[in-house]
A and B are shown apart, each in its own frame.
Chain A
Amino acid sequence: MTIKRLSPEELLALDKFSVDEGNPHIIVDKTICARCVERGCLVACPARCYREKDGQVNFEYAGCLECGTCRVICKEKGVTEWRYPGATFGVTFRCS
């Protein structure tokens, strides 16, 4: 192997996830995000769970690393609910 720049997808592919399908542990209200100017989540979420598409903030909880960054930087409180995934779900770190 050799060291190379890894894409967001490649970085997350290194980790083990068990996704609680249909039961997001973070709820984002897009109507609130619509009036947010800063949108810091787009650049500061380490897992890039927040992405802009057609001017809208889209959120995908599947690759969440459960760090809490989005909750603490969210200016407009568009992150309306933040909790940890249910037992046995979410990310599992094996060598960090």
Chain B
Amino acid sequence: MADDKFDAIVVGAGPAGSACAYTLAKEGRNVLLLERGNSAGAKNVSGGRLYTYALELLEPGMYQRAPLQRKIVREQIMLLDEQCATTIDHFNPGFGENVPQSYSVVRAALDEWFAGEVESAGGTVGSGVLVDGVLEENGKIVGIVSGGEEMRADVVVAADGVNSLLGQKAGLFPDVTAHAVGVGVKETIELPDSTISARFAVKDDEGAARVAIGCTDGISGGAFLYTNKGSISLGIVFNPEQAAKQKRHIQDIFQDFKMHPAIQALIEGGTSVEYGAHLVPEVGYHGIHKRLYREGMLVVGDAAQFGINTGVIIRGMDLAIVSGLAAARAILNSKSAAETGPLYMKQLEELLLLANERAYQNFHKIFEISRIFSGYPQLMNEAMDFLFRVDGKVPTPMLKGLLGVAKKHASFGQMLADGWKAYRSL
């Protein structure tokens, strides 16, 4: 059996798994990367933005080979009510200079490329392979089982995504709870590149990323829009607990959003080409699984529940890549199997992944303020209506008018309480 044994088996060819396998393969390790989809990316859905620093950490300049979409130079925040929309648009060409800060991505293309990089570096990629469970001997993980076949390795890296059945089977953590995740739905809409560039006022290699609130029927959550090459990714992420407690189907709420006049104008003339759904780690630092390793196994990426969501910054893929790199470095530097896990945790610190998570550790509590999702977006739009409306009648004095609008949506006490809660979360 010794001949068949791999140095490492990585389960899941998303950014975490491929980053890990790539680094190991480059260092000459005998690594097997397994993917249940017919090709890498075939099972993956993401909003669609990758922060470039992560690929730079993996290998400087690597991003130039990657099938990235548009470099994001417009960051937009949109507040919606039923008819109106108020959008903050931050144009920042600096985000596109040197190594651009972030790119929109399409996972089918990105993940397939990434797995190809693993192969070019000398790794073995097995697509269309579903891993059923782990192989355990003498209290250690010694491989995996797939379709009744055993495959052995010094270490198994679970990069099997947010649901991580593998980590659960290895007894590392319980199933994810509804509290810890968001449920995302997304439509990909094709449009000519020139149309996208014109509508978002960007050059053909530049793009916009937008988050929107006030479009979730009051459910904690928000929408996203990313401009790609020749397509737009449009979706909403909902808190599943709250979604389950109300009466409207999340698909209907999503379609309402898509047909909102301010959104429809951006996608008009386009063709819907795909509909996807995925869970997203939502809690951040406190949502990370408490155990990320045992002897013979490491957990990386979404499987570990790495994620950061500040409402305007939504990170997952970058953390996945960094954690994959951390796992690979731990494996490369480890002198004994028992040492690998603790080394992995050390690498997560050294690569600043955990420091990034900790910096936002209480941030998710801000999303408990229900008026962010229904109340304040409406308030903002009514306030704008008041500020901009001219009809020849005697205008209400400015302060009185604005206070009147505010009072309709939240009492002074409520606003104070929400402000305090937000302050405490920041």
B278→A94 contact, CB < 8 A: no
Which A residues touch B264, using CB under 8 A? 3
Which B residues touch A3, using CB under 8 A? 189, 258-259, 264, 267-270, 272
A96→B186 contact, CB < 8 A: yes
Q: Does A31 contact B (CB under 8 A)?
A: no
B165→A83 contact, CB < 8 A: yes
B243→A43 contact, CB < 8 A: yes
B249→A43 contact, CB < 8 A: yes
With both beta carbons as reference points, the residue of chain B lying nearest to A66 in the complex is identified as B43
Q: Could you say which of B21-29, B172-180, B319-327 contacts chain A?
A: B172-180
A73→B244 contact, CB < 8 A: yes
Q: List 11 other contacts, CB 8 Å, given A4-B259, A69-B183.
A: A5-B255, A14-B272, A43-B249, A66-B43, A72-B240, A84-B130, A92-B43, A93-B107, A93-B276, A96-B46, A96-B188
Quick one: CB contact mask for A31-62 with B, threshold 8 Å, 1 for yes?
00000001011111011100000000000000
User: 7 tightest CB-CB pairs across the interface, nearest first?
Assistant: A40-B244, A46-B277, A1-B271, A11-B275, A65-B277, A96-B276, A67-B277
Given contacts A2-B269, A65-B276, A93-B44, contact A87 B128 (CB under 8 A): yes
Q: Could you tell me the distance between the alpha carbons of A3 and B258 in the complex, rounded to whole angstroms?
A: 9
Given contacts A6-B272, A92-B42, A96-B233, contact A44 B240 (CB under 8 A): yes
> Smallest Cβ distance from A65 to chain B, in angstroms?
4
Q: Could you say which of B33-41, B328-336, B352-360, B384-392 contacts chain A?
A: B33-41
- Return the contact of B162 from the options A14, A68, A85 (Cβ within 8 A): A68
Question: How extensive is the interface on chain B, given as a class?
Answer: 35 or more
Which A residues touch B381, using CB under 8 A? none
Can you list 15 A-B pairs, Cβ within 8 angstroms, ordered by A?
A1-B269, A1-B271, A8-B249, A43-B246, A44-B183, A44-B240, A46-B183, A46-B250, A46-B251, A65-B277, A67-B183, A87-B128, A93-B108, A96-B188, A96-B274
Q: Could you tell me the distance between the alpha carbons of A88 and B274 in the complex, rounded to whole angstroms?
A: 19
Majority SS at the chain B contact face: mixed
> Smallest Cβ distance from A75 to chain B, in angstroms?
8
Which B residues touch A72, using CB under 8 A? 175-178, 181, 240, 279
Binding site for A on B (CB under 8 A): 36-38, 41-46, 106-108, 128-130, 147, 162-163, 165, 175-178, 181, 183, 185-189, 231, 233, 238, 240-241, 243-251, 255, 258-259, 264, 267-279
Which A residues touch B128, using CB under 8 A? 87-88
Q: Does A12 contact B (CB under 8 A)?
A: yes
Given contacts A2-B268, A3-B258, contact A95 B273 (CB under 8 A): yes
- Return the contact of A43 from the options B178, B189, B244, B273 (Cβ within 8 A): B244
A95→B274 contact, CB < 8 A: yes
Given contacts A2-B268, A46-B183, contact A87 B36 (CB under 8 A): yes
A38→B244 contact, CB < 8 A: yes
> Smallest Cβ distance from B262 to chain A, in angstroms?
13
Q: Could you tell me the distance between the alpha carbons of A73 and B270 in the complex, rounded to whole angstroms?
A: 34
With both beta carbons as reference points, the residue of chain B lying nearest to A88 in the complex is identified as B128
- Return the contact of B45 from the options A8, A90, A96 (Cβ within 8 A): A96
With both beta carbons as reference points, the residue of chain B lying nearest to A2 in the complex is identified as B269
Q: Does A91 contact B (CB under 8 A)?
A: yes
A73→B240 contact, CB < 8 A: yes
Which A residues touch B240, using CB under 8 A? 40, 44, 69, 72-73
Given contacts A2-B269, A87-B128, contact A43 B38 (CB under 8 A): no
Q: Does A29 contact B (CB under 8 A)?
A: no
Given contacts A46-B277, A71-B175, A96-B188, contact A91 B43 (CB under 8 A): yes
Which B residues touch A83, using CB under 8 A? 165
B41→A93 contact, CB < 8 A: yes
Q: Could you tell me the distance between the alpha carbons of A12 and B276 in the complex, rounded to whole angstroms?
A: 9
With both beta carbons as reference points, the residue of chain A lying nearest to B176 in the complex is identified as A72
With both beta carbons as reference points, the residue of chain A lying nearest to B147 in the complex is identified as A87
Q: Could you tell me the distance between the alpha carbons of A47 and B185 in the complex, rounded to whole angstroms?
A: 9
With both beta carbons as reference points, the residue of chain A lying nearest to B185 in the complex is identified as A46
Q: Could you tell me the distance between the alpha carbons of A89 and B192 in the complex, rounded to whole angstroms?
A: 32
Q: Could you tell me the distance between the alpha carbons of A70 and B46 in the complex, rounded to whole angstroms?
A: 19
With both beta carbons as reference points, the residue of chain A lying nearest to B45 in the complex is identified as A96
Which A residues touch B129, using CB under 8 A? 87
> Smallest Cβ distance from B221 to chain A, in angstroms?
11
Q: Does A76 contact B (CB under 8 A)?
A: no
Q: Could you tell me the distance between the alpha carbons of A33 and B268 in the complex, rounded to whole angstroms?
A: 41
